Structure 1
Amino acid sequence: MYTIIGAGIGGLTTALIFEKLNIDYQLFEKAKKPNALGAGIWLAPNALQVLEFAGVIDTVFRAGNSIDRITLSNQKLKPLADSSQLPAKEKYGFSTLAIHRAKLQLALIESIPKEKIYWNKAFKSLEQANNSVTVIFQDGSTTKSQYLIGADGIDSKVRSQVFPNSQIRYSGQTCWRGVMKSALPIEYKDRGIEMWGKGIRFGLSQLSKNETSWFAVKKSKAFQKDDKTNLKAKLGSYFKAFHPLVHQLISNTEIEDILRNDITDLKPIKDWHKDNVCLIGDAAHATTPNMGQGGAQSIEDAYHLGKIISENPNKNNFKAFQKKRFKRVNSIVRQSWFTGKIANMNTGYPIRNAIFSAIPKKLINKNMYSVYDLKD
């Protein structure tokens, strides 16, 4: 029996894969019920291949919007790199999908037997003894199983106990995420766009027929708070030199639908497992969102962990899982961190833009496919 802590994207996908492969599990989540918080997320073909394997791809696609073109541009929407996703669709069966994070989670939850998800169960601590793990919850209740999987995100309580010296890193950048309750102009419907300016950037994509997601990134001190009464005006002033589409998105988004989060990741740790406890997803290797691969790598973790366990059901497979995933994941973490620094350059940005404009499309596609490949 496997106990999974956390009903985020990684924990839910793990449950789905275990369900598919007949691996015994139970899933515990601290929230009292599913909630509708969050903003947009991109699911690249590597993640979508896993969701297809798990049997939920049609449900997920009904809730999202396909992106057939990804554009990196300057602040005026002049392309620096323009990548069609149609070759990827031919190769993998999917282009990238934009979807509201809450709708994705609900789609995954609906496909898991209700009796296997336990809500309002906040993790407090764990004890390992006699080849088993006992979890103690905040309400005083306990559960015991042979293995424990910590899928409880970047602020993982499981990781804090097992690896107390792990460190969350602040990138020096903060991000506002918004969801506008209307569609983009038709020419932008199937595009994912990120605009780079001087020390700031702005991204957008349509999520559904009546939802559009956007994000705005700027250098900032950590732990700052917004005054909601003038937030839109302040964002407008930050991005005053950007394409008019940016101002349309900000002004047409309800203030309660704008969230602020500092951009952080987890400083890479040497091990993701200890005895009968293993971390996955953001709990093990949280990455900055600059490559759109945070959720995708959690989904990949679930797939590979399930496959490895199903092939060797009577042993502890956590070491083999880490060996399978460690190099790829940490490469993406490093690349994403570096991309964030480049994207928010205050000086030298015209040179940066010229360099990106000169990158051959063949090289861009090669890098894209290296991320999209789901290797067994």
Structure 2
Amino acid sequence: MTNNISIIGGGIGGLVTALSFDKLNISYRLYERAESLKEVGAGIWLSPNALQVLEWINPKMLKEIQNAGNIFNRILVADHKLNPISDSSQSFVQEKFGYTTMAIHRGKLQQILYKYVAQENIELNKNFKAYSQNKDQSLKVNFIDGSFVNTNSIIGADGINSNVRKQLFPNSKLRYSGQTCWRGISDYDIKNKLESVGFTLWGKKLQFGVSKITEGKVYWFAVKLSAPNLTDDKENLKKELTNMFSEFHPLVNNLIKNTTENKIFRGDLSDLELLNKWNSGNICLIGDAAHSMTPDLGQGGAQAIEDAFYLSNFINNLTTIETACQSFFNYRKEKVEKLVKQSRLTSKIAITNRFTEKIRNFILKNTPESYMKKQMIELYTLDKTIANNV
């Protein structure tokens, strides 16, 4: 079945949806507000659930993505001095799925995805303004530049601040986590024993994450409790961050010092209060537009990629887009809502007071390895039967 569908947003979720539609010969156009897709932003983790979707789309594309990033053999949670609290070898993940979690520059990933999309179906410099319904029940999409298109269906893949969602569900609300986050790409050669490890250091109401993304480049993020909507003095930012993390392992400040100021980005951490549906008629939300979560589990991008896989296959196999969108929500709701709640909880326990910190560390250290493995396998499993039988 082919449909005239408009995808709003050319981020990771929108591009993977377009790629999935290309694979299944579903008719669409993708509209992205940026004039060009430049290599901007920081890093992103891609776990095996996301990698399975990318392999399903195009094994060659997956290989190019893996070659452009860095693959982990361990995932580590440590204290501020880099003493392990939880250290998980990923060999069982490799055996089960054929690959493990990897890190890559977000902008680089976006460029690779964009390269593989059918270029005739993408329009850049198209900033969504609003939609309306035509007399024949089709939809009209209006853009900021005054242009418009008529379409049978809209997929809102326009992120946590989705304008499609704001019109579709005007009562939807973002929830500020109470934390702000700095992200950066450091020009630094990380030590051999840590180059294949994705790790997070938990300190006194502070958190610092590290992952090499390619040779000589390390992605890092720094989190602290903060009032929302604050801005930085760029000239003193690196000094403030190094003072903030002065008690952490020396690697932390080495990474900060080797990052240029204009490659450090600050953003408050929020998520979306759970919605009781992601569509109304032929208008459907995916990714952060539908179920934005805090980044604590590293699953935001992966869940947008899963959305693209499942929604495209429901559309391909069911009679109407509305039925496909409703089936997509019913199928995805349980897993996604569980991850949103887990991410919220993790964000609270990662940055906590000294007394709770000791309890947290004790519980994490003593969690059975078998339980951790079971949780990871459940998270990473993709239901590939959906591609053939809905």
SS at structure 1 position matched to 2:235: coil
Cα deviation for residue 355 of structure 1 reads: 1.7
Q: Give deviations 1:219-275, integer Å, cap 9, x for gaps.
A: 000011111121111111111111111111111111111111100111111111001
SS at structure 2 position matched to 1:284: helix
Q: Give deviations 1:254-298, integer Å, cap 9, x for gaps.
A: 111111110011111111100110000000000100000000000
SS at structure 2 position matched to 1:172: strand
Cα deviation for residue 63 of structure 1 reads: 1.2
SS at structure 2 position matched to 1:230: helix
SS at structure 2 position matched to 1:351: helix
**Which position in structure 2 is the counterpart of 1:29?**
32
Cα deviation for residue 114 of structure 1 reads: 1.4
State how far apart, in whole Å, the 1-side matches of 2:199 and 2:214 are: 16
Q: Does 1:72 align with 2:88?
A: no
State how far apart, in whole Å, the 1-side matches of 2:198 and 2:123 are: 36
Q: Does 1:293 align with 2:299?
A: yes
Q: Give deviations 1:24-65, integer Å, cap 9, x for gaps.
A: 110000111102221010000000000001112012112111
Q: 1:52-201 to 2 correspondence within 5 Å?
A: 52-55=55-58, 56-129=61-134, 130-201=136-207
State how far apart, in whole Å, the 2-side matches of 1:145 and 1:210 are: 46
**Which position in structure 2 is the counterpart of 1:42?**
45
**Which position in structure 2 is the counterpart of 1:279?**
285
Deviating 4+ runs (over 6 angstroms): none
Cα deviation for residue 313 of structure 1 reads: 4.8
Cα deviation for residue 210 of structure 1 reads: 2.4
SS at structure 2 position matched to 1:94: coil
> Does the 8 Å contact 1:184/1:206 carry over to 2?
yes
Which residue among 236, 246, 250 is the counterpart of 1:240? 246
> Does the 8 Å contact 2:282/2:321 carry over to 1?
no
> Does the 8 Å contact 2:70/2:212 carry over to 1?
yes
Cα deviation for residue 182 of structure 1 reads: 3.0
**Which position in structure 1 is the counterpart of 2:370?**
362
Q: Structure 1: state its 5+ residue gaps.
A: none
Q: Supply the AA of the counterpart residue of 1:62.
A: N
Change (3 A) 1:315 1:177: closer
**Which position in structure 2 is the counterpart of 1:222?**
228
**Which position in structure 2 is the counterpart of 1:326?**
333
**Which position in structure 1 is the counterpart of 2:214?**
208
**Which position in structure 2 is the counterpart of 1:13?**
16
Q: Supply the AA of the counterpart residue of 2:330.
A: K
State how far apart, in whole Å, the 1-side matches of 2:146 and 2:175 are: 32
**Which position in structure 2 is the counterpart of 1:350?**
358
**Which position in structure 1 is the counterpart of 2:5?**
2
State how far apart, in whole Å, the 1-side matches of 2:11 and 2:352 are: 32
> Does the 8 Å contact 2:178/2:226 carry over to 1?
yes
Aligned length: 376
Once the two structures are overlaid, the 10-residue window that deviates more, 138-147 or 100-109, is 138-147
**Which position in structure 2 is the counterpart of 1:341?**
348
Change (3 A) 1:315 1:264: closer
TM-score (norm 1): 0.98
Task: Among all aligned residue pairs of Structure 1 and Structure 2, give the percentage whose two residues are the same amino acid.
Answer: 46
Cα deviation for residue 315 of structure 1 reads: 4.8
SS at structure 2 position matched to 1:229: helix
Q: Does 1:303 align with 2:306?
A: no
